[in-house]
Amino acid sequence: MLPTKGAHTVDIRIQGSEVTAGRNLGESCGIVALAERIPVGYRLVQSLRILQHRGQESAGISVFVGGRTKTMRGMGLVNEVFSGVKLERDEGLGIGHIRYSTAGSSAIENAQPLYANIGRYEISVGHNGEIVNAPALRERLEGRGYSFSTNSDTEVILKLLSIELSKAADPVKAMKASFLKLVGAYSLNILINGRVFVVRDPNGIRPLVIGETEYGYGAASESVVFDQLGGKTIRDVFPGEIVEVSKEGFTSYRFSEGRKEAHCMFEYVYFARPDSVMEGRNIFDVRNMLGRILARESPVEGDCVVPVPDSGRSHAMGYAEESGIPFTEGLIKNRYVDRTFIMPEQSGRENELDIKLNPVRELISGKRVILVDDSIIRGNTMRKIVRMLRNSGAREVHVRIASPPVRYPCYLGIDMKTKEQFIAANRSEEEIGKSIGADSLRYLSLEGLVKAIGLGRGKLCLGCLTGKYPVRVPGNHL
């Protein structure tokens, strides 16, 4: 291990592996915070492994040890970063983070949590989301003489918080003043002098839940963390809420109220684990209903319903149950390959697909296949899957997508920044279907998506589908 950037941050370098293959389409990073009556270092690592699907680029934890904050972070999967690392006996207070990059390049300097020591305060911050006014805030701070060591928007948050802490004796007051300057999506976990806080942006774009464990309390991006720690989820963090988590319970502070809720629809369609619960909605049930509505809206004669694993499985089950056409595992996934949707380059996604998926010829040959997936972004991956099925003898391939077409950039935590990368940006369904080589292609309607999620259109962020965002995006003129 090579210590860098101060005595209390240890950057863990993995021999021969500065970066892993995994990275973004995005929402998401994953965060966890624990305050327990036992040391939490290993439990934070365990929690990050549970959230590994949310980011495969870097991982890190900050824990309170001997009255000081110690941060450890590295590039790679959680088990790569912490393999062989002996964690010190901490005081039961800490935060953890896994990352894929949306703002800030793939480099150890941008791995989180980020740490700062300012006067009487030690601060560590982890961030899931994206701050759309970060460039303007950074320029303003640089004009005042502040320097930056990363190109991550999380460092902008850290700098603002450090400035406010230097002026205020109360960390909560400092946080309120800092967060009111931010525009965008953010769920944060923060460790300040042994006090553990979590924060959710005023629109609630990024998910965050509070939970209870056998040994104390915590918060995480998804409820499944508490299921697997042997605890229970208490509730979602409210939009515009700061929550201090302690070993005895939690305390709520509101810094912004009255904003329009806008929960990311992609959480329900793709990002979250199907066994998680968000805003009271079980993700598996939502995806199953997405598939059912898709079958009602876009029926087609076929012999089998085949999911694109793993993310399309719940949707395909719903489609099969609604249509009465048999569900068939016609594509087998190599479990040891990262999620291609969150990989950095298209060439990497396509090359990985060769070893990620393998058709079962005996189940496909001579069949009219209904191929179900959660989304199509660029189209190259779907084109290759359709070709795989045809090469395995499929007589027809009908593609059904359990979300509407993605036509607009996301500025709030998903690495989709230009319309040119979307196959649906300027094409009709028929044109897209022809481009990917399918006999037919149909997407779920926007109305069907909203109905399946069950929160109402007024509580969802649909920006990548409609071009209308819940916050003002600088430079966006859609």
Packing angle of the helix pair 429-436, 380-391 (nearest 10 deg): 60
- Is the backbone of residue 20 left (phi > 0), alpha (psi -120 to 50) or beta? beta
Burial label, 16 (beta-carbon count in 10 A; 0-12, 13-18, 19+): exposed
What letter would DSSP give residue 229?
T
Determine the Cα–Cα distance for residues 239 and 207; give it in Å rounded to an integer: 9
Catalytic site residue from 29, 264, 410, 461: 29
Tokens of 242: 């700061």
Determine the Cα–Cα distance for residues 148 and 132; give it in Å rounded to an integer: 18
Residue 29 is a catalytic residue = yes
Determine the Cα–Cα distance for residues 73 and 58; give it in Å rounded to an integer: 7
Determine the Cα–Cα distance for residues 264 and 271; give it in Å rounded to an integer: 10
The contacts of residue 161 (CB under 8 Å, 6+ apart) are: 123, 125, 174, 175, 178, 190
Q: Are 217 and 245 in contact (CB under 8 A)?
A: yes
User: Which residues are part of the catalytic machinery?
Assistant: 29
